[in-house]
Amino acid sequence: MAHGHAHAPAPQPTSLPGVANIIAVGSGKGGVGKTTLSVNLAIALAQLGFRVGLIDADIYGPNVPLMMGTSRQPRVLEGNRIEPNVAHGVKVISVGFISPGDKPLVMRGPMLHQIIRQFLQQVEWGELDFLLIDLPPGTGDVVISLVQTVPLTGAVVVSTPSDVALQDARKALEMFHQVNVEILGLVENMSHFTCPHCHEEIDIFSKGGTERTAQQLGLKFFGSVELHPGIRKGGDSGLPIALAGGDSPQARQFFEIARQVAERAQMQSRKQEDIFEIS
């Protein structure tokens, strides 16, 4: 009789006490502004009165510390618990706090899995309405670690409107589908550019591609964010544009997206609770 190796059952995800909604922000491709959206979305939600946390799960390229303007090493509490940094009203954790500067992190899958688990389970998040997770680009180990560790409320997928970015965004959508994570909606970043001199709208990346993709796939389109120097400057200076508030022309788009994300996530949470009660 052949001796087969018994496969260990996949770990079951367990809820985080006190955290109402866990939302992944992903993209199939790097350079589409996923972290810019994550950071401004977190700040907009906090300014709308929600309790918000942000995990920088982009282990190889952690940009959240720079964009949120916080770099100090987090305090280790009793029982090896980690206290997240707080920036602009948002609780934040990033591998960039532990390994700052230009030093690259070289690690394999199991180490990545361990870091993701620590960020979720060992950090003192307290009571949160939303915990946003800024994912690395692509469709790799981090997402699998995530869905094995905690139940996700859903995912927001970011893309520029170019065909190249959208091709990769479709892969990200398929990845979430395969691991049974609900797509809350899509966001188009760098949608268009308004010339500061003639005020004409310049279509750099073929505006509207993400919205068309959402329609084709029967998914929610949350809106678009224009390409604007103020958004880039805010991220580079650690003072994201969302701090300007919902009345600012550049920040307004993030607040509109934040309201829709909150609404969709809360609806999805209620749906998941109903399914859990029935089963």
Q: pTM for the whole thing?
A: 0.86
Distance separating alpha carbons of residues 60 and 30, to the nearest angstrom = 12
| CA dihedral angle for residue 133, residue 271, residue 159, residue 108, rounded to 10 degrees | 40
The runs of H, that is alpha helices, within 150-248 are: 163-178, 209-216, 229-237
pLDDT in tens, 55-94: 998 877 788 999 999 989 999 999 989 999 999 999 999 9
Please, which pLDDT band fits residue 12 given cuts at 50, 70 and 90? confident
Contact, 69 vs 96, CB < 8 A? no
| CA dihedral angle for residue 156, residue 187, residue 164, residue 147, rounded to 10 degrees | 0
Please, which pLDDT band fits residue 167 given cuts at 50, 70 and 90? confident
Closest CA to 85 of 53, 57, 114: 53
The predicted pLDDT at position 217 comes to 84
pLDDT in tens, 113-142: 888 889 999 999 999 999 999 988 765 677
The Cα angle at residue 185 between residues 180 and 190, in degrees rounded to 5: 130
The predicted pLDDT at position 66 comes to 92
pLDDT: which is higher, 89 or 230: 89
pLDDT in tens, 37-59: 899 999 999 999 999 999 998 87
pLDDT in tens, 201-215: 655 555 666 788 888
pLDDT in tens, 180-195: 899 999 998 765 555 5
